[in-house]
Amino acid sequence: MEELASAEGKLTHEIEVLEQEDETEELLAEREVLLSRFNRLAKEWLTLKVALRLLEKTLRLYESEKQPRVLERGSGLFKSITSGMFTKVLFPLEEDRIKAERRDGSRTNQDLLSRGTLEQVYLSLRLAYLDVYHRDESIPLIMDEVLVNFDPERSGRAAETLVGFSEEAGCQVLFFTCHPHIARLFPGTIGKVDLEYYFQNRVEPSVVSPFPMS
């Protein structure tokens, strides 16, 4: 009985060893399959990552250098109004909204811009569109209180930009405001008319008259 029990123990041990060897072989085979799959997926991921980087670089290049002249011209005007805080106006191909690029290269969606800054973007694009597509058509530009939401510093630069744009593009700009402090932002060399003053005094206004600020 002792010999049989000993033999049974040896056989049981041998069976366990054999089972472990079979399981090890199965695990090793599974490991090889997984390694092969991992290598294949790693190559695919690397290929897609490189392709994505190249696509992003191409889009950035297009947005920065190849977009329509309106955005290029508008970017220059916007940069002037913001004193270089923002340098470009972009319309990314993969989106349906405008972005403003800051001096450090970061970009801000139009939804995150302040009302004043967003209006400065639209003003710049409006001027750019007129300059690019209607420079030779002598179309006057009429504006009414477009600076009311700008801070004082940008209001002054926007007024200077409008005067410079009018002279450079040969475009007549008719600017209406009921705020004397905004009228003072424009230099005295341009024509200013206080319509209320002339209506009250029953005289015909002249575009070259000084702007009475009493």
Identify any residues that bridge with 102 across adjacent strands, giving them in sequence order: 86
Give the start-to-end residue ranges of the domains of the chain: 1-66, 67-176
Is the model's pTM score more than 0.95?
no
| Alpha carbon distance 201, 159 (integer Å) | 29
| Alpha carbon distance 185, 155 (integer Å) | 8
**Percent of the chain topping pLDDT 70:** 82
Place of tokens 């049974």: 8
Torsion angles phi and psi, residue 49, rounded to 5: -65, -45
Of the pLDDT bands very low, low, confident and very high (cuts 50, 70, 90), residue 115 is very high
**What number is the average pLDDT over the span 122-128?**
92
Instruction: Quote the mean pLDDT of the chain.
Output: 82
Structure tokens at 164: 């410079």
CATH superfamily of 67-176: P-loop containing nucleotide triphosphate hydrolases (3.40.50.300)
| Residue pLDDT, tens place only, 44-98 | 989 989 988 888 887 776 656 556 788 889 999 999 999 999 999 988 766 778 8
**What number is the average pLDDT over the span 152-169?**
92
CB atoms within 10 A of CB 212: 13
Question: Taking the alpha carbons of 183, 189, 191, 194 in that order, is the dihedral positive or negative?
Answer: positive
Pure H helices in the chain: 2-61, 69-81, 115-134, 152-169, 180-183, 195-200
| Confidence at residue 117, expressed as pLDDT on a 0 to 100 scale | 93
Instruction: Identify which has the larger pLDDT, 132 or 159.
Output: 159
| Alpha carbon distance 63, 89 (integer Å) | 9
Instruction: Identify which has the larger pLDDT, 87 or 28.
Output: 87
Helix pair 152-169, 69-81: axis angle to 10 deg: 140
| Confidence at residue 193, expressed as pLDDT on a 0 to 100 scale | 81
